[in-house]
Amino acid sequence: MRPIIEILMADITKIEVDAIINAANNSLLGGGGVDGAIHRAAGPELLEECRSLNGCETGFAKITKGYNLPSKFVIHTVGPVWFGGTFGEEDLLISCYEECLQLAFANRAKSIAFPAISTGVYGFPADQAAFIALNSVTEFLSRYETDFEKIIFVAYDIKTYEEYVRLVADNDEED
């Protein structure tokens, strides 16, 4: 069964799903943007658990509990910094989405919410990142039999929101 794909403009820390994705850095010890918001909302125990993880390579992901968040899990992934597009940025971003989905599946998370990984401080162009986000998830779902029920793409600004909506509409037309 294919999961419902939803596009929301929202604060990801308020969303009730099994797992939210965090756009973290290699240290996994917090930062600004969505990472800062997730740590603030989850409380200090999240940082404590993150300290035990020994960081994370770019393009990979690690999972923790959600503590005070409405979500049961946080999947921390480290997106690529955008250096113009010729340093493997696209493949690394695809890898983030795949690794997160694999971890979610392995932990039986059925509903998942993704922020627009790498499109803030890390500077990945929002339209290209939205395309990769949608494509990576669609690819994953066509390759593996999963029991995901809902996958949400969370935008935090109108441009990103509209980009996701446009891409989903294009995909639906192709189906």
Residue 127 is a catalytic residue: no
119 touches ligand AR6 by CB under 6 A: yes
Q: Could you say which of 11, 18, 35, 172 is catalytic?
A: 35
Pairwise CA distance, residues 62 & 107, whole Å: 11
Pairwise CA distance, residues 13 & 89, whole Å: 26
Size of the site for ligand AR6 (CB under 6 A): 25
Q: How far is the CB of 42 from ligand AR6 (least distance, A)?
A: 12
Q: How far is the CB of 150 from ligand AR6 (least distance, A)?
A: 17
Q: How far is the CB of 149 from ligand AR6 (least distance, A)?
A: 21
Count of CB atoms within 10 A of residue 11's CB?
Answer: 14
117 touches ligand AR6 by CB under 6 A: yes
Q: Which is nearer to ligand AR6, 109 or 154 (CB)?
A: 154
Sign of CA dihedral 120, 124, 127, 130: negative
Reference 64, options 15, 115, 30, 93; nearest CA is 30
Residues forming beta bridges with residue 21, ordered by sequence position: 75
Q: Which is nearer to ligand AR6, 33 or 55 (CB)?
A: 33
Q: Which is nearer to ligand AR6, 101 or 147 (CB)?
A: 101
